[in-house]
Chain A
Amino acid sequence: MNRENIYFPHLAQITRILPQIEDHKLFGLTFVDKSMKDNFSYRPGQFVELSIIGTGEAPISISSSPTRPGTVELCVRRVGRVTNALYNLERDDLVGIRGPYGNGFPVEELEGNNLLLVAGGLGMAPLRSLLWYTLDNRERFEDVTLMYGAKIPDEMLFKYELLSLLDRPDLRCMLTVDKDEEGIWPAHIGVVTTLFDQIEIDPSTTYAAVCGPPVMYRFVLEELLKRNLSKDRILMSLERKMKCGVGKCGHCAIGYKYTCLDGPIFTYWDAINLPELI
């Protein structure tokens, strides 16, 4: 549309709105321009700048998998100005999208390995992309394990979709909640790190992909290191206030890295060398 202007968004139509948990909805977006719709491709772990024309832009990670083209899915928490404006829109309304931005998960490097996905809270939003990418290319990966923890059952994203994966033979799907006061939860109870006792990690053939709130990292990283997983096999999707998405505006600069280009996927090795990263 406008290749010279790197800040110019493409218009997309809201084609689906699926409520998840309180103040979290999954928006399905389809580009108005047919060639954008057909050709928009991305890597799991990448993000877009979502804009509500007249309100502004916000960086949102992509929750759908590139293996299912046509619709881009964004799981959006209603929290700021832009996301509140998005919640006021309805099906068929138009939004703007720039991207995809960021490095995404190094999926080619992960092929042939065991994968351990560890998510906490809203951290499932970017990992869902990697999860479906992996399941849709199942033969390219060895054992795949998902560990996802939410505070209570009502705060688990993609709950029914994930519960339906519990019986899948080619995925070890471990879902947990910190508390279940109503006694309705059919799976594990306890913080996500309590799941680690149930699995074996072969450090030579395993990659871990971790995403969650800042408090979660410390405990999960500790568990992974205890099991001898090397720091460059621990991948983390980190949050920063990415504004331009193209390494110019400075908002997401950490050390000499720009989260929007060098990240948002960083290894734990990067994190040790970049203060302020987590």
Chain B
Amino acid sequence: MEHRTLAGDGLPALIDELIKKGMRVIAPTQRNGDLAFGQVSSSAEAVLDYFLCKRSAKEIVFPRTEAILGFDRSGGEVKVEPPSMQFPETVVVGARPCDAASLPILDHIFTWDCDDELFTRRREATTVIGLTCTTADNFCFCTSVGLSPDNTAGSDILLTQLEDGQFFVEVVTDKGEKLAAELGELFREGGDESARQKAGEKARALVTRSVDVSKAKGWLDDHFDDEMWESWMTCLGCGACTFVCPTCHCFDIVDEVQGLSGHRCKNWDACTFWHFTVHASGHNPRDVQYKRYRQRILHKFRYYKDRFGVTLCTGCGRCSRHCPVGIDIAEVLETAAGSAAS
């Protein structure tokens, strides 16, 4: 696909042009004191000189709560209504590669065996313009899970700022090509590929944390009962890691009632919550916290890989950054990989 170039000050114009064309634009924006992905009504609301949003971009295709049916019992009889399955054309501007990469990873779970069309239709209606990183911290470890700060996975278009300030516009998918064609006037044909290479190297050098994830998996594969797990008992079971995670996708189905009507909702849930596996009888197959934390790690680095061929992690580091008791997922993997070596 033909690459293009965007002027160094071209991002606001790009956002405003998309809004003018009637698209719903989602970008990092201030929401109640935090940076979050949200709809913007003008480029002035978008914050693109940023590190990461506190929560990931997954909620664009997998909202924290969404109705799967509406119900009404006011007439005496039960009436049920399916929700609308029409979703507006949406463009995400400025997703970091670790956020964009979560989307194709989530495709596996929401489309295997049968499609969850609440997910797939949102996904189809969404075009992602990724943005190569310019900063990283010590929790970032994307390069250890096969990604990088300039990786194109999940982006339809990836923008990389070059040394001279201009953006290299990498058109990744057909969807990206369609959008780039529509924005023709903003983009200049062609791009400086060697400058793009250089910017990519610079971005990759930002990530200094490195874990041998495949070695760690080798250890995880046959140490289900290792005593190491109990040493991670500090986990509070607060679920913060799963809520900020771009790939955690567990959900609950809950009826939310107002008077005689309401909605049945698909709400985010977390395998680290004690009630996640508890049976109505009271029996809980994961009866203590370390077993629930173990499930989170094994699901990400062993089971999902065994089932779908990909690791359920983009190395964004959010879980470590936000853990109230300082559990660092890369450190858990380092311990596993280290044990494999010894």
**Which residues of A come within 8 Å of B, CB atoms?**
2, 4-9, 11, 51, 53-58, 77, 79-80, 83, 94, 96, 214, 239-241, 243-244, 246-251, 253-256, 261, 275-276
Contact = CB atoms under 8 A, between A and B. Distances in A.
Interface in B285-342: 285-286, 291, 295, 298-299, 302-304, 306-307
A244 B264 CA distance: 12
7 contacts: A5-B68, A54-B71, A57-B253, A94-B77, A240-B279, A253-B271, A253-B295
A261 B114 CA distance: 11
B31 interface: no
B276 A251 contact: yes
B114 to A, nearest CB: 6
B117 interface: yes
A54 B252 contact: no
Interface in B90-145: 109-110, 112-118
B68 A253 contact: no
Interface stretch (B1-9, B80-88, B178-186, B193-201): B80-88
A54 B258 CA distance: 9
B238 interface: no
Contact of A256 (B117, B277, B306): B306
Contact of B280 (A11, A80, A251): A80
A6 B306 CA distance: 25
A256 B276 CA distance: 17
B13 interface: no
Given A243-B253, A250-B250, A251-B269, A256 B303 contact: yes
A5 B117 contact: yes
A269 B33 CA distance: 53
B257 A246 contact: no
Contacts of A244: 251, 253
A79 B280 contact: yes
Interface of B: 68-69, 71, 73, 77-78, 80, 82-83, 85, 109-110, 112-118, 224-225, 249-255, 257, 260, 262, 264, 266, 269, 271, 276-281, 283, 285-286, 291, 295, 298-299, 302-304, 306-307
Nearest to A274: B224
A247 to B, nearest CB: 5
A269 B110 CA distance: 28
Contact of B68 (A7, A83, A94): A7
A112 B307 CA distance: 33
A54 B73 contact: yes
Nearest to A82: B280
Nearest to B109: A248
B224 to A, nearest CB: 5
Contacts of A83: 280
Given A5-B83, A276-B286, 18 more contacts: A4-B85, A5-B68, A5-B69, A5-B117, A6-B117, A7-B68, A8-B69, A8-B82, A51-B264, A54-B262, A58-B280, A214-B283, A239-B281, A243-B252, A249-B269, A253-B271, A256-B304, A276-B285
B255 A7 contact: no
